[in-house]
C-alpha cells in the first residue's frame, strides 16, 4: 500500500481542485481575436457560447448589437476557427431562441440566466453596470477569466 501514496496524493489534490475549475474561463491566447474583439468590450471567453452561436455572431458583424464590428476576411476566418475550436458546446445550456436560431449573447444562454437569477433587471441597468454584457463590472477577475463568486463585487 505504501508504494501507492505518491500516486494517490496528486489524484486527491486534483479532486479538491476540480470544483474551483468550474468558474474559471481563461481566454486562450489568439492575436486576431484580441485585436478585433476586445476594443469595445472585453474578449469574452469562447467557452461560454457554443460553436453555432459563435458562427452566427461572426456572420453578423456588420450589424453587431447596433454597431458595425466588421473585420476583413484575413482576420475573420482565423477568429471563427479560434472561437469554434474553443466553444463551450452543451455545457452552456440552451443556446437557441424560441424559433431555433442560435443565440448571439452569452448573457441569454440558459447557463448564464441560471447563474444570475438572483440579480434583478434593475441591478443590471445601474449606471455603474449598464448591461449584463459588462462582466467586468461585477466579476473583478473577469480579465483573467476568474468568475468565482468570492470575487464578485456588485457596484452600487
Ligand atoms: C465596434 C464595437 C465592437 C466591436 C469591435 C466588437 N463588439 Fe461585440 N459587442 C458590441 C456591443 C455594443 C455589444 C452589446 C453590449 C451590451 O449589450 O451592453 C456587443 C456584444 C457582444 C456579445 C454579446 C455579449 C453578451 O453576452 O450579452 C458578443 C458575444 C460579442 N459582442 C462578440 C464580439 C466578437 C466575437 C467581436 C470580434 C469579431 C466583437 N464582439 C467586436 C460592440 C463591439
Ligand atoms: C451585475 C453583476 C454581474 C454581471 C454584469 C455579470 N455577472 Fe456573472 N455573476 C454575478 C454574481 C453575483 C454571480 C454569483 C451568483 C451566485 O453564486 O449565486 C455570478 C456568477 C457567474 C458565473 C458562475 C460562477 C460559478 O461559481 O459557477 C459565471 C460563469 C458568470 N457569472 C459569468 C459572467 C459573464 C461571462 C458575464 C458577462 C457576459 C457576467 N457573469 C456578468 C454577477 C454578475
Alpha carbon of 154 to ligand 2 centroid (Å): 10
Alpha carbon of 124 to ligand 2 centroid (Å): 11
Q: Is 44 in the pocket of ligand 1 (CB under 6 A)?
A: yes
Residue nearest to atom 20 of ligand 2 (CA): 115
Given this model, what pLDDT does residue 93 score?
A: 77
Q: Are 56 and 107 in contact (CB under 8 A)?
A: no
CA dihedral angle for residue 34, residue 36, residue 37, residue 38, rounded to 10 degrees:
60
Q: Is 43 in the pocket of ligand 2 (CB under 6 A)?
A: no
pLDDT tens digits, one per residue of 94-115: 889 999 999 999 999 999 999 9
Torsions phi, psi of 67, nearest 5? -130, 170
Q: Is residue 19 scored above 50 in pLDDT?
A: no
Q: Which atom of ligand 1 is nearest to the CA of 33?
A: 37
Torsions phi, psi of 99, nearest 5? -90, 5
Is residue 94 classed as helix, strand or coil in its secondary structure?
coil
pLDDT tens digits, one per residue of 23-71: 999 999 999 999 999 999 999 999 999 999 999 999 999 999 999 999 9
Q: Is 129 in the pocket of ligand 2 (CB under 6 A)?
A: yes
For the chain, the domains span 24-151
Amino acid at each position: 500500500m505504501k508504494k501507492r501514496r505518491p500516486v494517490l496524493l496528486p489524484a486527491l489534490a486534483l479532486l479538491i481542485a476540480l470544483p474551483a475549475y468550474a468558474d474559471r474561463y481563461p481566454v486562450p491566447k489568439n492575436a486576431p481575436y484580441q485585436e478585433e474583439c476586445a476594443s469595445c468590450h472585453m474578449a469574452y471567453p469562447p467557452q461560454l457560447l457554443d460553436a453555432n452561436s459563435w458562427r452566427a455572431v461572426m456572420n453578423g458583424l456588420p450589424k453587431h448589437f447596433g454597431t458595425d464590428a466588421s473585420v476583413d476576411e484575413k482576420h475573420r476566418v482565423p477568429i471563427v476557427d479560434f472561437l469554434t475550436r474553443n466553444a463551450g458546446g452543451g455545457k452552456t445550456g440552451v443556446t437557441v431562441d424560441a424559433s431555433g436560431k442560435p443565440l448571439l449573447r452569452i448573457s441569454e444562454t440558459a447557463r448564464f440566466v441560471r447563474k444570475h437569477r438572483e440579480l434583478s433587471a434593475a441591478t443590471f441597468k445601474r449606471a455603474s453596470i449598464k448591461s449584463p454584457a459588462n462582466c467586468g463590472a461585477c466579476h473583478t477577475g473577469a480579465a483573467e477569466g476568474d468568475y468565482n463568486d468570492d470575487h464578485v463585487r456588485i457596484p452600487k
